Amino acid sequence: MQSDIEAILREGEAAIAAASSTDDLVQVETELFGKRSALSGAHRALGALEADQRIAAGRRLHEVRGALEAQVADRHDALAATERAELLVADRLDLSEVIPNLVRSPLSRGHLHLVSQARDELEDVFVGMGFEVAEGPEAESDWYNFEALNMPPAHPARGMYDTMYLDIGEPETVLLRTHTSPVQIHLMEEAVRNDTLPIHAVMPGKCYRLDTPDARHLPVFNQIEGLVVDRDVTFGDLAGTIQTFTTAYFGEGMQSRLRPAYFPFTEPSAEFEITCAICRGAGCRTCSNVGWVELGGCGMVDPAVFAAVGIDSDVWSGFAFGFGIDRLALMRHEIPDLRSFMENDIRFLSQF
């Protein structure tokens, strides 16, 4: 019995010393002190001993248990301290880190994101052409985003928009706008209410679609919408506006062209394309060798839209257009992947 107890002590000490983590040590503790441990077995065996032997062995067992418990506690403290030190090193943030060549002076200031710069420039170009700048809400009702734009419930064109709905009110009644076109509706309603027609406005802003980010799509992106409502507005005015904008933004030598398309809120509708800014029309990978890239949609405001906001389409006519700002900036700066815009990598952002 005596030699068994000494073996328990030696083996226990070895196991405690060998534990390499606090998790490990918990395991060792169970093996040392649990019901099936040698220590518990020895306790149970005491009953079979003569009285005087039982007292001596019992006392020694008690000492051994105490010694092992103390060693577990010491080992735990040591292991926990090491683990904490390792965690601190792993989680360390070096706030004094300087990335060479990025910080040009100790006082260097940040600047607007490339997409914000592009939006500002576009606004300037359009203001120069006589447009006002307006904004609208990013959370919209179904009516503004779809129905007033001549897309009643179950209209197939709704399928173009993978919509993010908000959990407000009845299901699928409140959403994050999928395009900036609903701002047209707000402006026309306001102009009718205040009797301030005509309208010549551009409306930049964020849009949301349930897209997985890839090189050409982001779930949150920016569009700029245009709307003119006036007397005797023609498709020629629309084409001229787009061409004027194209040269003002991209420079001489850049052409725009319209191709027939379908949008529920315009009739006739067109997609507009501009000369590929990268190859200047010669053909390259970005434009799939056609020399043109598609920028957005446009057309003459559909009479159904005028009817939804209470504008008399016998008196008023109009055109509208909308296109992506992110893609425009991407093209102008030959950026291969739209995701760079939302990664917040200072090495990318500081180039613009």
Residues in the interface with ligand DAH (CB under 6 A) total 13
Question: 179, 186, 209, 327: which one contacts ligand DAH (CB under 6 A)?
Answer: 179
Shortest Å, Cβ 224 to ligand DAH: 10
Burial, 92: exposed, middle or buried (Cβ in 10 Å; 0-12, 13-18, 19+)? exposed
Site string for ligand DAH, 180-199 (x = CB under 6 A): -x------------------
Tokens linked to 189:
């309603």
Cβ pair 254, 230 in contact under 8 A: no
Q: Answer whether the bond into residue 198 is a cis peptide, omega within 30°.
A: yes
By CB under 6 A, residue 275 contacts ligand DAH? no
Site string for ligand DAH, 321-340 (x = CB under 6 A): xx------------------
Q: How far apart are CA 306 and CA 148, in angstroms?
A: 9
Q: How far apart are CA 352 and CA 350, in angstroms?
A: 5
Q: Which of residues 217-246 bind ligand DAH (CB under 6 A)?
A: 225
Decide: helix, strand or coil at residue 218.
Answer: coil
Burial, 272: exposed, middle or buried (Cβ in 10 Å; 0-12, 13-18, 19+)? buried
Stretch that binds ligand DAH, among 16-24, 209-217, 319-327, 328-336 (CB under 6 A): 319-327
Shortest Å, Cβ 324 to ligand DAH: 8
Question: 241, 266, 275, 317: which one contacts ligand DAH (CB under 6 A)?
Answer: 266
- For residue 59, which amino acid is it? R
Taking residue 25's Cβ as centre, other Cβ atoms within 10 Å add up to 20
Q: How far apart are CA 254 and CA 291, in angstroms?
A: 11
Q: How far apart are CA 283 and CA 280, in angstroms?
A: 8
Stretch that binds ligand DAH, among 35-43, 96-104, 125-133, 315-323 (CB under 6 A): 315-323
Q: How far apart are CA 273 and CA 298, in angstroms?
A: 11
Stretch that binds ligand DAH, among 11-19, 119-127, 308-316, 317-325 (CB under 6 A): 317-325
Shortest Å, Cβ 131 to ligand DAH: 13
Which residue is at the shortest CB distance from ligand DAH? Answer: 297
Q: Which of residues 25-54 bind ligand DAH (CB under 6 A)?
A: none
Question: 126, 297, 305, 335: which one contacts ligand DAH (CB under 6 A)?
Answer: 297
Shortest Å, Cβ 115 to ligand DAH: 17
Q: What angle do CA 100, 106, 108 make, to 5 degrees?
A: 90
Q: Which of residues 277-296 bind ligand DAH (CB under 6 A)?
A: 296
Question: 16, 258, 298, 338: which one contacts ligand DAH (CB under 6 A)?
Answer: 298
Question: 16, 42, 72, 320: which one contacts ligand DAH (CB under 6 A)?
Answer: 320
Tokens 């001993």 belong to residue:
49
Beta-sheet pairing, 139-141 with 256-263? unpaired
Quick one: angle between helices 235-250 and 114-128, nearest 10?
130
Shortest Å, Cβ 24 to ligand DAH: 59
Shortest Å, Cβ 110 to ligand DAH: 31
Beta-sheet pairing, 266-275 with 292-301? antiparallel
Q: How far apart are CA 213 and CA 268, in angstroms?
A: 32
- Chain residues binding ligand DAH by CB under 6 A are 179, 181, 225, 263, 266, 269, 296-299, 320-322
